[in-house]
């Protein structure tokens, strides 16, 4: 089974119904819910998701949403070795480097993101939701 790390922007597209991205992001998310792939989130993404959802909704609702997400997605560790790995990557954005390092440590096959250019130097391929969908159907 493919293991895919979902970038924060994909999750937020779905949770906040961000148009025009929600449809493609929701299709990738649905592949996790149906068991077609194993979905992962970098640990630091979980706190970011909670923070941004809480700004739109109440704190209790944000906690409920994060709890629901964690029933669907696994969590890729962001620990000392992942941070050290990220420091060695040549990324313009350190958060993206940490995401890529977490994906590598978790054995992910790819990262699904709306910003594949931000992962240009990633050791793990980064694909848009539209680009990843044919791979999920060919499993």
Q: What is the spatial distance between Cα 102 and Cα 74, in angstroms, rounded to a whole number?
A: 12
Residue 27, both tokens: 């299709």
Q: Tell me the pLDDT tens digit for each residue of 17-44.
A: 888 899 999 999 999 999 999 999 999 9
Q: Rounded CA gap, 53 and 129, in Å?
A: 21
For 138, residues 6+ apart whose C-beta sits below 8 A from its C-beta are none
pLDDT tens sequence across 6-20: 999 999 999 988 888
The predicted model gives 45-74 an average pLDDT of: 92
Q: How confident is the model at residue 138 (pLDDT cuts 50, 70, 90)?
A: low
137: exposed, middle or buried (Cβ count in 10 Å: 0-12, 13-18, 19+): exposed
Here the tokens at position 82 are 């992942």
Q: 130 is written with which tokens?
A: 């539209």
Residue 133 has a pLDDT of 86
Placement of tokens 């909670």 in the chain: 50
pLDDT tens-digit readout, 51-60: 998 988 888 8
Contact between residue 27 and residue 61 where contact means Cβ atoms under 8 Å apart: no
pLDDT tens-digit map of 84-113: 999 999 999 999 999 999 999 999 999 999
pTM: 0.93
Q: Where are the domains of the chain?
A: 3-137
What is the DSSP secondary structure assignment for residue 139, as one 8-state letter?
-
Distance in Å from the first CA to the final CA of the chain? 8
Task: Tell me which fold the domain 3-137 belongs to.
Answer: Rossmann fold (3.40.50)
């Amino acid at each position: 089974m493919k293991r895919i790390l979902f970038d924060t922007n994909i999750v937020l597209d779905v949770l906040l119904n961000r148009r025009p991205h929600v449809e493609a992001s929701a299709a990738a998310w649905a592949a996790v819910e149906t068991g077609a792939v194993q979905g992962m989130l970098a640990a630091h993404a979980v706190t970011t998701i909670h923070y941004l959802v809480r700004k739109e909704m109440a704190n209790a609702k944000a906690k409920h949403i994060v709890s629901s997400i964690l029933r669907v997605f696994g969590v890729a560790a962001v620990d000392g070795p992942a941070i050290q790995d990220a420091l060695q990557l040549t990324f313009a954005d350190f958060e993206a480097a940490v995401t890529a390092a977490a994906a590598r440590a978790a054995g992910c096959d790819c990262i699904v993101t709306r910003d594949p250019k931000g992962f240009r130097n990633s050791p793990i391929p980064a694909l848009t939701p539209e680009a990843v969908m044919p791979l999920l159907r060919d499993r």
